[in-house]
Structure 1
Amino acid sequence: MEHQEHQIQFMPKDPMEIDYEALPEDASLGAHLGAGALAGIMEHTVMFPIDSIKTRMQMNLSSKEISKGLFQSISKISSTEGFYALWKGVSSVILGAGPAHAIYFSVFESTKTFLCNRLTTSHTNKIVTDENHPIIASCAGIAATTASDALMTPFDMLKQRMQASAAYPENKSTSIRLLKLASDIYKKEGIGAFYISYPTTLLTNIPFAALNFGFYEYTSSILNPKHIYNPYLHCVSGGIAGGIAAALTTPFDCIKTLLQTKGISSNEAFRHVTGFKSAAKALYKQGGYKAFWRGLKPRVIFNVPSTAISWTAYEMCKEILIKT
């Protein structure tokens, strides 16, 4: 890692020479947690209105508003429901994404290093490694998403309930206040409601993580073989990886949305689904194969830039924490 130390030492003079993919080997656990937390918050909040549109599409809500295109939909909903309509649920993301992504990045880095030490000729006692192995990165991504989703799933469910409630202003039983909503769901549906989508979330995010990290490292190895910080190449690599992963896992995401919002669905069949299989059957009965691809466009549009946002915020926070 001599090149990393040299690059960080001269960072003020040449900011383009920062190693992008990982913290320096002497970075503390706190640096990893802080960098990952900021990355997660930035990733989800900046693109939050796009995610709200995706949720409405998958729930088949506000069909008139979402039929003319993504940005026209944002404009229409903002003008008819108010500026904050597409931001409802962001408080849940802020509370959950920080800790979840802190765990995500830390587990990813430590797992990748562990696997590199065991399966390659590379050996280090540090938490990170700059080795580039797409398959190992995919395995590390699977471990990371399994750990972080255990924490994030309840917050994600609350977020989607709040997003959906924005389209139901007449529904007085659906609170848009985070703590009250959580209390209401617990009283009416029990603790299981917060984790009913966890298996499906893993079915969505495990292949997403494997595809995302695998394609990212593979693309980076081609476009940026020296692994130095280059914002253009990393944006391209991250965009390609995030877009492919998001597109291929959209059917699982549709099922997850149904499970997380079944308690407030206007569709009677959806309200009685009990798990992945019954949710998939209900979706197919309602709309055929097309029902599994609702929200594809906003999901891809959300994930392409969010990958770049996440890594950029991670790198920025890393530099701040390392120097303080």
Structure 2
Amino acid sequence: MDIEPDDPYESLPESSAAVTHMMAGAAAGIMEHCVMYPVDCVKTRMQCLVPDPRADYRSVPDAFYKIVRFEGMKNTVRGISVVVGGAGPAHALYFACYEKLKKTISGGRQGNHFAHGVAGCVATLIHDAVMNPVDVIKQRMQMFNSPYQTCRLCTKQVYQEEGFRAFYRSYTTQLTMNIPFQCVHFMTYEIMQDLLNKDRKYDPLSHVISGATAGASAAVITMPLDVCKTLLNTQEHCARTQLSYVNGMISAFRTVYEFQGLSGFFRGLTARVLFQMPATAISWSVYEFFKFFLTKKPADIDDNKYMSGISVQASSSSSS
């Protein structure tokens, strides 16, 4: 009995693996953030500590309605340009690092979920180093009645008024959130793949289900830290805390609790889950598709056409 060779897009030669993972990762990151950007805007708005009465949203549908009704549809995508510019390289490095470390730590064996978690942690360090300044600009553009007209002007003004440190003020909190987030995310994704796609073939449905489950699980667990990260990025109402700026995770936790109590740490939870489920599903499905597409040889395509032709002929013969 012949043993089938490994799936070509799971056993790439070293010379092409990194480039393929980076190209697939960049496409996945851009698609994920662009498609779900309006929901991300709602999440940022709903995490406000003391919202303007005109931006006090009761639910995700209510937020969408008010933003579109009173501010226009374009305000749901304010700041998207900086995300497009940052998500590509950030996710390219992120997925390439994850795939390399996953294979190195596990020795190429499937089912080593500890290796998946460690690889996800290290990949997060690189990803967040690129994305943290992007998140600062993006979230300041997303806030209600934002004073910034463009991403470029926002970057310039933040740098002039708060210095370079402002772009990494939330970096420690982001890592504190994203390291457990990515551990849960990658481990859940790989566990779901073990259940739904044990042979690790290209299977779009299993990638979507696994990605959505992983995103929702990780979003719920790390929600309080996401609220604190938003505060550190936007510096909302920092004057009322009698501090020049809200610095550090402890200060952010204290400020959120002062304004909103324990419930404040879960403001925008529904929006975050609604963002993360499809966003992670999109990210993994696009990533796996491009990884498959970029490594699919012409011979494979011809074989598929040949096999499709045999199937058509067989069905025609059986029907006659």
Query: Are residue 97 (structure 1) and residue 74 (structure 2) matched?
Result: no
For this pair of structures, how many residues does the alignment match? Answer: 291
1:272 to 245, 256, 261: 245
Match of 2:110 in 1: 131
In structure 2, the CA distance between the partners of 1:229 and 1:284, relative to structure 1 (3 Å rule), is: same
Distance 1:321 1:265 in 2: 48
Q: What letter corresponds to residue 29 of structure 2 in structure 1?
A: G
In structure 2, the CA distance between the partners of 1:290 and 1:63, relative to structure 1 (3 Å rule), is: farther
Query: Are residue 168 (structure 1) and residue 145 (structure 2) matched?
Result: yes
Q: What letter corresponds to residue 185 of structure 1 in structure 2?
A: V
Contact between 1:108 and 1:144, CA under 8 Å: does it hold in 2? yes
Distance 2:160 2:11 in 1: 44
Structure 2: unaligned runs, 5 residues or longer: 298-320
Superposition RMSD on alpha carbons, in Å? 2.1
Q: TM-score, normalised by structure 2?
A: 0.85
1:44 to 29, 33, 48: 33
Match of 1:55 in 2: 44
Match of 1:308 in 2: 281
In the TM superposition, what is the alpha-carbon distance from 1:202 to its structure 2 partner?
0.2
Distance 2:61 2:110 in 1: 40
In the TM superposition, what is the alpha-carbon distance from 1:323 to its structure 2 partner?
5.5
Contact between 1:53 and 1:66, CA under 8 Å: does it hold in 2? no
In the TM superposition, what is the alpha-carbon distance from 1:271 to its structure 2 partner?
5.6
Match of 1:14 in 2: none
Give a deviation string over 1:198-221, Cα, whole Å, max 9, x none: 000001100000000111111221
Q: What letter corresponds to residue 115 of structure 1 in structure 2?
A: I
Query: Are residue 140 (structure 1) and residue 113 (structure 2) matched?
Result: no
Name the SS of the counterpart of 2:6 in structure 1: helix
Match of 1:110 in 2: 100
Give a deviation string over 1:118-177, Cα, whole Å, max 9, x none: xxxx4xxxxxxx72322210110001011110111001110001101xx116xxxx2231
Distance 1:268 1:284 in 2: 14
Match of 1:126 in 2: none
In the TM superposition, what is the alpha-carbon distance from 1:80 to its structure 2 partner?
0.9
Q: TM-score, normalised by structure 1?
A: 0.84
In structure 2, the CA distance between the partners of 1:271 and 1:309, relative to structure 1 (3 Å rule), is: farther
Q: What letter corresponds to residue 77 of structure 1 in structure 2?
A: I
Query: Are residue 254 (structure 1) and residue 257 (structure 2) matched?
Result: no
Contact between 2:117 and 2:187, CA under 8 Å: does it hold in 1? yes
Match of 1:24 in 2: 12
Structure 1: unaligned runs, 5 residues or longer: 6-18, 123-129
Match of 2:307 in 1: none
Q: What letter corresponds to residue 135 of structure 1 in structure 2?
A: F
Contact between 1:40 and 1:310, CA under 8 Å: does it hold in 2? yes
1:212-291 aligned within 5 A: 212-262=185-235, 265=237, 268-269=240-241, 272-291=245-264
Contact between 1:220 and 1:227, CA under 8 Å: does it hold in 2? yes
Contact between 2:45 and 2:55, CA under 8 Å: does it hold in 1? no
In the TM superposition, what is the alpha-carbon distance from 1:266 to its structure 2 partner?
6.9
1:33 to 11, 22, 31: 22
Q: Percentage identity across aligned positions?
A: 38
Contact between 2:46 and 2:57, CA under 8 Å: does it hold in 1? no
Q: What letter corresponds to residue 108 of structure 1 in structure 2?
A: Y
2:160 to 167, 170, 187: 187
Query: Are residue 149 (structure 1) and residue 152 (structure 2) matched?
Result: no
In the TM superposition, what is the alpha-carbon distance from 1:224 to its structure 2 partner?
2.5
Name the SS of the counterpart of 1:2 in structure 2: coil
Name the SS of the counterpart of 1:104 in structure 2: helix
Distance 2:41 2:140 in 1: 11
Contact between 1:133 and 1:217, CA under 8 Å: does it hold in 2? no
